[in-house]
Amino acid sequence: MSTMVCVKEDLDEKLSQDEIISRTKQVIQGLDALKQEHHSILDGLLQTLRCLKQDEESSLVEEKSVMIRKSLEMLELGLSEAQVMMALSGHLSTVESEKQKLRAQVKRLCQENQWLRDELAGTQQKLQHSEQSVAQLEEEKKHLEFMNQLKKYDEDLSPSVSP
């Protein structure tokens, strides 16, 4: 039983990653089936070769077995490459997912940074108002102290002026 998997290639057709993975899985199944079939054919040829004597028929069977072995090697190479593609696709999906998470984190950090800047600006304004109030209160205190000193001076002068 032979299974043939044909992949239609259209230059205009762009496959999504999921479609590529799906088709790669189909190809792996087809290659695996071919591999099993080739193994059974090779086993049959080797059994036939053991039964035959050294004549022309045995050399023909040996040639067939060599061709089947080469075909098996190519099938195994194809299977290995398909598995590498699947692993690479999984890795790329993981990397893309990480990239999306990092982008979301950067966005959140930018928002938090902006919020902190706004909070800092508000706090700086409050500090400036407080400093202005402190300066104003210090001036008023100095003025009141001066007025108190004048009042004491006036009181000191008043008793001596009245006889």
Domains, the chain, in order of start with CATH, read: 18-129 (1.10.287)
- pLDDT above 70 coverage of the chain, percent: 85
- The 10 Å CB-count burial string (b at 16+, else e) for 47-57 is eebeeeeeeee
- The pLDDT of 54-68, averaged and rounded, is 78
Q: Which long-range contacts link 39-46 to residues 24+ away (Cβ below 8 Å)?
A: 39/72, 41/68, 42/68, 42/69, 42/72
Decide: pTM greater than 0.75: no
Number of CB atoms found within 10 A of residue 44's CB: 14
CA distance 37 to 19: 27
Greater confidence (157 vs 148) lies with 148
DSSP 66-103: HHHHHHHHHHHHHHHHHHHHHHHHHHHHHHHHHHHHHH
Can you tell me the distance from the alpha carbon of 101 to that of 90, in angstroms, rounded to the nearest whole number?
17
- State the alpha helices, DSSP H only, in the chain: 17-51, 56-161
CA distance 7 to 28: 12
Q: Which residue has the higher pLDDT, 131 or 60?
A: 131
pLDDT tens per residue across span 73-121: 999 999 999 999 999 988 998 999 999 999 999 999 999 999 999 999 9
At residue 99, the pLDDT reads 97
